[in-house]
Structures are given as structure tokens and as C-alpha cells.
Amino acid sequence: MLRTPLHQYHLEHGAQMVEFAGWEMPIMYRWPDKIGGGGGIHEEHKQVRRSGGFFDVSHMGRVRVKGRHARRFLERICTRRISDMQNGQCRYSLVCNGNGGVMDDVLVYRLDDDEFLVVVNASNREKLLAHFENSKGDLVVECEDRTAKTAMVAIQGPRVMDLISRFSREIPTLKRYRFVEKNYLIMKLLVSRTGYTGEDGVEVILPANMVGMAMKMLLKDIGEGDETIIKPAGLGCRDTLRMEAGMPLYGHELGENINALASGLDFAMNLDKDADERGEPFIGMEALKKTRDAGGPSERLVGLLVDGKRTARAHMSVHAGGKHIGEVTSACLSPTLERPIAMAYMLAEHAEPGTRVTIDTGKENKLEAEVCPLPFYKAPKPAAKAN
Amino acid sequence: MSSPADCKYTDSHEWHRLEGDVVTLGITQFAVNELTDITYAELKRVGTQVKPGDPIGEVESVKATSDVYTAVGGEIIEINSTLSDDPSAVNNDPFHAGWLVKIRVSDSAALESLMDGPSYDAKYPV
């Protein structure tokens, strides 16, 4: 199993380690007494919503795409427009196969006119590296897997930017989906105002061998005991946080057999981008146009508010009027809403918010639920600061 | 932390504590670690007759829903009703406050063949 550069940090903070996509990762922590004790998935979740959490996301793949045709290459790979990205900007995009199915969802960083960084899911890293090689054709571009040479952490929560403002004036002024490269001593950090929790915060990419120094800087002055502003948070709460925020996860809401248009991620697809002046069609575009022109995909991704206390599970069948109309893709007991929630693909004619449905648990008990729009949770806007 | 010596253990990670003719039953620390945060426990009703190997209920966690089985037969005489509002006792104190059901046993012989604490901990270290 692969280990991240933060392995020792996890062990020192009471992590329970599990295998995830070939990596040994913390699913949750038993927080040490010096940061207040406790921990576990729900407490970590609430810590992120209330104050701040620190996630090791070094398992995510980081691929540098560089060369004279890097921009054109990524236009071909990504469903979303790349050409109008400014240096210092990030964009969320899908990567499709030729049938319009989703190979992965990625975050593209524009480092320079002809240099990008693409952050991909851990489980898809090797598949995408091969896909990139196979899709180059005669374009002049090099793809370098930077995953092992770098670490990546996410610091998320309403108090995170305040804390960062103690050592950086610039980072808190970043707009959402912007990043900055910072040099501290001999350490180069790439800090972006992005995340996968529904909260404000940053993601930081840094050299693997600088992790110790970077952690000291990033986690300086976080307080102690119950007052600790930022506590370590595992993959368990990362999943429940992203569910509340209505964000899809590859292998659940996204997959090679799921039409990209069904995901509802319309903002991440520019089906007309080949019409631009320097436009380029993307792989899967023709298939998606066909689906669109035929009236759209037959299924839609929806949220379900489940009655009672029991949690639905992925792959459970959703029924209405005795008919199978969909399938649950993810579900949890929402720590913020204090009720079970689920995401599901449902036939478009049943996807209207307010529709009552039944979830078949495969046992005697059935769960009743109501279709609702995504997301389940939006972070409150920070109060305007008095000057 | 070692599993209590006054209990008997199954490979499906239940503990059974015999006091008189009543067995108190719950899930082990190992099970709790595997399941992660317990979010809900649904237990059979008081008065239910169970046979060895029958489910006595289900526990749900962030990760999964799992059946919980009894190794002994008898009648469920009490369930831990505090769990319906707050199942966190199963996480925080699985061997005591987080107990699930009490069964009046007709025959406790089945317990003889179960693992004791040290054998269980050797097989399923936490």
C-alpha cells in the first residue's frame, strides 16, 4: 500500500487507517487530549462546519501538463472550456469517454500560458495517465505524474481564512477558484481557494519533503484543547461533508456508464466550445450533443430527504407507484441536518422536487423519502466585517 | 485495550455476558472500529423469542448496516432504550453503557464454545 508524506502525522493524531484506492489513509481520528480528545466521523464533520478541519488529500493524483499545445490538449480532454482560463485560475471539469460517460472529475489549474496542473481522483490516476497519452495525437505536450513528489492538504472551515491571515496577507484575498504560488524560504506552496466540503478554505500542494516544515507553518497558533481551531479530519467526514454539499463522487454519482448530462453538472460542460475562435471539440462531445438533442438523458441526479432515522445505502432501489424508478448512489445520516439524506439517479419524470418515493432496503423495512434539490447544505455567507 | 474477561465472544464480533440466567449482549470494540460512528440501532422487541444464531437487531454506522446475532437462545427481556435517541454509547463504551439487549436464556451451554477475551483479542487485535 502507498503511504502519503503525512503518514507519521496521522499516527501521532490517533488516526484509524484504511486502504483507499491503493493508499493507506485515515478514515477518522481519535483526537489526542491536547486538541480536546473525542473525534470520529460526526465530530470531525461538525468541527469542519463550525471551525476548521485539516485533510490529507495527497492520494489525489497530480499531473503536470506542459508544452506548446497544452491548452489545446486540455480542451480535447476536458468537457469545460480551458482557453479563457487566466493564469492563477482553477476550474472544475469532467473528463469523458467517447460515449459521453464520465472517466473522472478533475480540477485544472492554469500555471502559465502553456503549463497546467490537473488534480484527478486517486482511483483514476493510472487510467487517466494512459488516457492522456492515448489522446495526444500529434499535439506537443508532456504529462508528468507529480503525485509522489508532492503532498496535498485541504484546510476547510469558516475560521480557516482568518487563521491563514496571520501569516499571509495575500491568500485570504484570493477569490474562489483562484490560486497563488508562494515561496517561503526554500519551500514552494501552491495554495488555492478550493475544496470538497461546501465550506470556505484552501487546498495546498507542496513538495513531499517539505511536509514537516509546512505543517508547522500552516498549523501554527491553532490553539489547544476544545478551542483548537483546526483539527485533523479523515476521509469518513470528507464523504459526509461532500454529500451535504451535493458534490458528486466518482464511483458513486459519476462513472464510465453514467452519461455526463445526467449528473446535472451543466456548468462543467461546454458543448459548444468547438465553435470558439480557437475552439477544440472534446472527447465525448458528439455523444453528449446527441443525447441533448434527443431530449436529454433519461435519468437525473437528485437529492432525497429520507424519513425516520435509518440510513439508505448505495445501490438500493428507489420505487414510486410500485415501479422501479431509480437507484441510490450515496447516503448518510447528515450530521448538520440531523436526518438521513441520499443522492440518487432517478427517471427524469420522477425527479421533480417534492415527489414522494420509497427506498427498498432489500429487507422487510422500506424507507420513505422526498425528492429535493441539491445541495442539502450551503455554508452561511460570512458576516460583513466592520472596519 | 483488552476485551473484558467476563464475556464470551463470537467471530461476528458480539460479546455475551452471563449473569444468573440473563445474558447481556453487545458488539465489541473491534466491531465499533470497523463500523466507525454508529448512527442508529434497531433492536427486536422485548418478548421476542430467539434461537442461537438469530439476529437480535441491526446497527447502522456511517459506513454500513450490520445484523447483530445472538449465540444463545431465549427471550429478549430488555433492550437498551437509551440508544434510540443517542446511539453514541455504543461507540464510547461498547462493553458496558453501549449494551444492546438482555436475553433470559433457556440454555447457556452455547457460550462454552465461544472465545474468551484473550483468544478473541489475539484473533482480532484492535
Q: Is A28 on the interface with B (CB under 8 A)?
A: yes
Max CA distance (Å), chain B: 36
- The distance of A40 to chain B (nearest Cα, Å) reads 6
**What average pLDDT does the segment A222-227 reach?**
89
H helices of A78-209, where?
Answer: 125-135, 160-164
**Residues of chain B positioned with their CB less than 8 A from the CB of A243:** none
Backbone angles phi, psi at B112, to 5 degrees: -55, -40
**What average pLDDT does the segment A342-346 reach?**
98
pLDDT exceeds cutoff 60 at A330: yes
Show the domains of chain A with their CATH numbers. Answer: 2-59+148-244 (3.30.1360.120), 61-145+269-289 (3.30.70.1400), 299-372 (2.40.30.110)
Domain residue spans in chain B?
Answer: 8-107
Kindly report the CATH number that applies to the domain delimited by B8-107.
2.40.50.100
What are the tens digits of pLDDT across the range A145-178? 999 999 999 999 999 999 999 888 999 999 999 9
Q: Which residues of A52-79 are buried (b: 16+ CB within 10 A; e: fewer)?
A: bbbbbbbbbbbbbbbbebbbbbbbbbbb
Question: How many angstroms separate the CA atoms of A95 and A284, rounded?
Answer: 9
Q: According to the model, what pLDDT value does residue A381 have?
A: 79
Q: Which residues pair with A276 in a beta bridge?
A: none
Question: How many angstroms separate the CA atoms of A229 and A320, rounded?
Answer: 45
Nearest to A204 by CA among A26, A351, A347, A5: A5
**What average pLDDT does the segment A202-219 reach?**
90
Average pLDDT over chain B, rounded to whole? 95
What are the tens digits of pLDDT across the range A25-70? 999 999 999 999 999 999 999 999 999 999 999 999 999 999 999 9
pLDDT exceeds cutoff 60 at A384: no
Q: According to the model, what pLDDT value does residue A220 have?
A: 83
Smallest Cβ–Cβ distance between A310 and the set B33, B37, B40 belongs to B40
Question: How many angstroms separate the CA atoms of A191 and A174, rounded?
Answer: 9
Report whether B88 contacts B39 (CB < 8 A).
no
What are the tens digits of pLDDT across the range B67-84? 999 999 999 999 999 998
ipTM of the complex: 0.83
Q: Which residues of A297-323 are buried (b: 16+ CB within 10 A; e: fewer)?
A: bebbbbbbbbeebbbbbeebebbbeee
Q: What three-state secondary structure class fits B29?
A: helix
Residue corresponding to grid cell 460479546: B15
Residue A323, C-beta contacts closer than 8 angstroms, at least 6 positions apart: none
Given a cut of 70, the residues of chain B with pLDDT beneath it are: none
pLDDT exceeds cutoff 90 at A219: no
Q: According to the model, what pLDDT value does residue A387 have?
A: 43
Q: What pTM was estimated for this model as a whole?
A: 0.93
Instruction: Tell if the CB–CB gap between A310 and B63 is shorter than 8 Å.
Output: no
